Chain A
C-alpha cells in the first residue's frame, strides 16, 4: 500500500485513508451557455492519462476530509509531491 502525504495534516498516511479524485487542474467553465460541443467534450471526457508525471486530486476522506493536489509518476506510483488546493500547478 502506498503512503500519501496530506499537506493539511502534514503526515504520511496509508492509501486507504484517501479517496482518489481524478485529474487535477480541470477548470470548471465560467460561461457554460457559450461552450461548443467540442469544448464540453474536452471538459467532461478528455483526460491526459500520461505515462509519467500525473497531476491528480486526492481527498483525505478518513482524516481531515480536505481535497489536495498531488504529482505522482504513473509508472512507479511514486508521489513526487503533494500540495494544497488552490496552489499553482507544480
Chain B
C-alpha cells in the first residue's frame, strides 16, 4: 500500500498522476476464512478493518453483492451527530463520533469529516421543551449540545429565516458543534484500503445465496454466487437486505425495509455553513464541499427493495426547505436517489449476537446509519472477536423485542432519525 502524503502527492503530480497503483486488490474468494462479513458498506468494511487491526483476525473476507459503498453508504446525506436522548443511544453514537475524530489519520485517507455543527430547529413549545430535555440529557452523558436563541441560530446559519411571520417560526435551536458531515465514499474506500493492507479480502459482485449450518446449529459457511466459502463466524451488515439474509439462517427479524430518498441541488458557492434539521417541518440540509445542497427527509410509506421512491415525497421535502430557507426557492435540483433502510420497531439498531452460534448481526440503523459507521464497525468486530457484546452495544440486543426493554428513540425524536 502506498502511503498518501504531501511528498507522494507532489512526486506523482510531477509524473502527471499516471502511475498510482490500485488502492486495494480485487480479491477472488478463497475456500475458507476465519470470519466473513456480509455487506461491503462502511459498517462492514469497518468491521473487517477493526477485526484485523485490533483483534489480529486477518483471514477475513468482505462479501459485497454489488460494488463497495454502492448501497446506503453511497446513498445517504452524510450527517454525523450523537445528540440522542437515551443513555444507551448517546453512548453508542458518541462512541462513533469519537472515532470519526482522527479517522482520516488512522486510515491515511481523507474522510473529510467536518465539524460544522448540527443545528436542530424548534418551531413550537413542545420542540423547545423536548430539545432542552435532550440538551440536558446529552450534557449529563458528556455529549455536547447547547441551546441557541433565534438570533444566535441566525448568526450561526445566516440563510435561516427567523421572521416571526414564517409559517413555522424558529423559536430557538439545539446545536451540537461536534456534529457535521463527512465524505461518504471515502469512508468505504478508506476502510477497504486499510483493511486490504492488513490482509482482508474485499470481494465484490459476490451475493450470498445461503448460510450453511452444521448439525449443532452453528454456522459452517456461506453459499455465494461465486461458490461456497467455509467459516465459523459470520457478521451480517447488510442494511435493507438483512431480513432476507437472516431468513437463510432460519431467523425471523423485527425489521421492515423502506426506501429513503435524498437529493442534491446544482453546485453553488459556499452559502450554507452547517447542517440544519427540522423535525417539525421535517427536512434537513447541508452543503457539500462540492457546493451542492444535500437534502433529505422521511422515508416512503411502504416496504420496498426498489432503491427508488415516489416524487411526492421529494415535493414534500422541498416544500419544507423552501419554507425555512426562502432564498433557495429558485435553486434547481440535480439528482435524487433512494436507499433501502432497515427500520426496527423502536428505531434503534440491533448490534450483537443472534440465536445461531457464530452468526452476528449489525442492522436496524434505519435512516441514520452513516453517522455510526466507525462505531458500528468497531463494535461488530469486538462482538465477533470476543463472542460477546461490548458494554456499549449490549443493550442493543435482539432479545429486547421479547423482554420489552426497548430503546425507544422513535418516541424520543418523534420522527425517524
Contact = CB atoms under 8 A, between A and B. Distances in A.
Interface in B175-229: none
Nearest to B309: A77
B257 interface: yes
B310 A2 contact: yes
B105 interface: no
Contacts of B304: 74-75, 77
Nearest to A75: B305
Nearest to B251: A46
B301 A45 contact: no
B302 A51 contact: no
Contact of B303 (A38, A40, A49, A76): A49
Contact of A1 (B243, B252, B255, B311): B311
A41 B303 contact: no
Interface in A8-42: 15-16, 19-20, 23, 37-38, 40-42
In this complex, the member of B241, B254, B303 whose beta carbon has the largest number of chain A beta carbons within 10 angstroms is B303
Contacts of A37: 402-404
What size tier do the contact residues of chain B reach?
A: 20 to 34
Contacts of B303: 23, 49, 54, 56, 74
A47 interface: yes
Nearest to B306: A77
Majority secondary structure of chain B interface residues (helix, strand, loop or mixed) = loop
A72 interface: yes
B335 interface: no
Contacts of B20: none
A25 B127 CA distance: 37
B401 A74 contact: no
Nearest to B301: A20
Given A41-B401, A45-B254, A46-B254, A1 B301 contact: no
Given A49-B257, A77-B304, A15 B345 contact: no
A49 to B, nearest CB: 4
Interface residues of A, number: 27
Interface of A: 1-2, 15-16, 19-20, 23, 37-38, 40-42, 44-51, 54, 56, 72, 74-77
A56 B312 contact: no
B244 interface: yes
Contacts of B109: none
A19 B403 CA distance: 31
B345 A44 contact: yes
9 contacts: A2-B310, A19-B301, A20-B302, A37-B403, A49-B303, A50-B243, A51-B244, A74-B306, A75-B305
In this complex, the member of B241, B302, B402 whose beta carbon has the largest number of chain A beta carbons within 10 angstroms is B302
Nearest to B242: A49
B365 to A, nearest CB: 15
Nearest to B406: A45
In this complex, the member of A23, A38, A46 whose beta carbon has the largest number of chain B beta carbons within 10 angstroms is A46
Contacts of B404: 37
